[in-house]
Structure 1
Amino acid sequence: MEHFDKMDQRILNALQHNARMNTKEIAHKVGLTVTPTYERLKKIEKSGVIKNYVTLLDREKIGKTLAAFCNVTLQVHSLPLLKKFEAAMSKLDEVMECYHVAGTYDYLLKVVVNDMNRYQDFLTNKLAAIENIANVNSLFVMTEIKHTTAYVIDK
């Protein structure tokens, strides 16, 4: 973030906490007038730092009461099979996040579903149907202690 100054960082921090703010509200929050705030925001958007504007839902209130982290080990680690696995993960609606990791496991998945029956269906009929999986270790979320989407941007 070398090319962003302190004011750009303040704009990014404000947007991370409320992406619905309009340019006037952002300007007021960061202490600028509207025009320079608008210009800075467009520059930041053009740089690709802001990937998207989204609405974060309360998963419990929409019936997604079961969250699990799945550690996945593959049998073979050839590039074509890794890419095939990753493509398959991208198509599964239940998989909210997928990371290729180093260590004991090959991939870490965050899976969110309605209940244990849906998780079993996901595991049995979707995940197990993907070739090259050697092992899946599931960890179920009991209580969510902290969940944030905002990155700390140094001031």
Structure 2
Amino acid sequence: MHNLDDIDAKILHLLQQDATLKTRELSEKLNLSYTPVYERVRRLEKEGIIKKYVALVDREKVGKKLMAFCNIALKEHSKVMGEKFVKAVSAMGEVMECFNISGDYDFLLKVVVDDMSQYQQFLMQKLGSLENIGSTHSLFVMGEIKNSSALEMIPSKK
């Protein structure tokens, strides 16, 4: 775990709200000079705390109206079969997120597609073609209450 001071936490908070902020704008908002802010941002990037900068696209405005969570139980739990599954799912454009979970299922996929017909195609043709799928269980999103990628930033206690 990295120790984040108050300034690091503020930088991360501001960049999570607007990743297009330039160093000059950050320094003005933080009431600090340019160079220390620049160095801190570069350090946060180098340490992997800031992984990358992205544009968040409104999925519905680009026709991706159906979101589903798909639970998957594997037939076989060997390392080789698990790695094959992860590699295959990671290459599927419909899969936005994939989690290895505990409980009755082994994986949870967040899947985004145009409509139910496309989800059925995804399920039958893509997931159905994988040799190690034991069972699936789909949950369909009726309404999105909160969708955020921003982490709450609290400075480390010293």
Q: What are the within-5 Å matches in structure 2 for residues 74-153 of structure 1?
A: 74-153=74-153
How far 1:104 sits from its partner (Å)?
Answer: 1.1
How far 1:30 sits from its partner (Å)?
Answer: 1.8
- One-letter code of the match for 2:89? M
Q: Which residue of 2 aligns with 1:61?
A: 61
C-alpha distance in 2 between matches for 1:47 and 1:79 = 29
C-alpha distance in 1 between matches for 2:3 and 2:152 = 17
Q: Deviations over 1:36-90 (max 9, x none)?
A: 1111111111111111100000000000000000000011111100000000011
Q: Which residue of 1 aligns with 2:50?
A: 50
Q: Deviations over 1:114-148 (max 9, x none)?
A: 01111011011101100110111000000000000
C-alpha distance in 2 between matches for 1:70 and 1:92 = 13
- One-letter code of the match for 1:88? A
How far 1:4 sits from its partner (Å)?
Answer: 2.3
Q: Show structure 2 runs of 5+ residues with no match.
A: none
- One-letter code of the match for 1:145? I
Provide the identity percentage.
50
Aligned length: 155
CA RMSD of aligned residues (A): 0.9
C-alpha distance in 2 between matches for 1:16 and 1:48 = 15
How far 1:154 sits from its partner (Å)?
Answer: 0.8
SS in 2 for 1:93: coil
- One-letter code of the match for 1:34? Y
Q: Which residue of 2 aligns with 1:27?
A: 27
User: What TM-score, normalized by structure 2, do the two folds share?
Assistant: 0.95
Structure with the bigger RCO (C-alpha within 8 Å, sep 6+) is 2
User: What TM-score, normalized by structure 1, do the two folds share?
Assistant: 0.97
Q: Structure 1 runs of 4+ off > 4 angstroms?
A: none
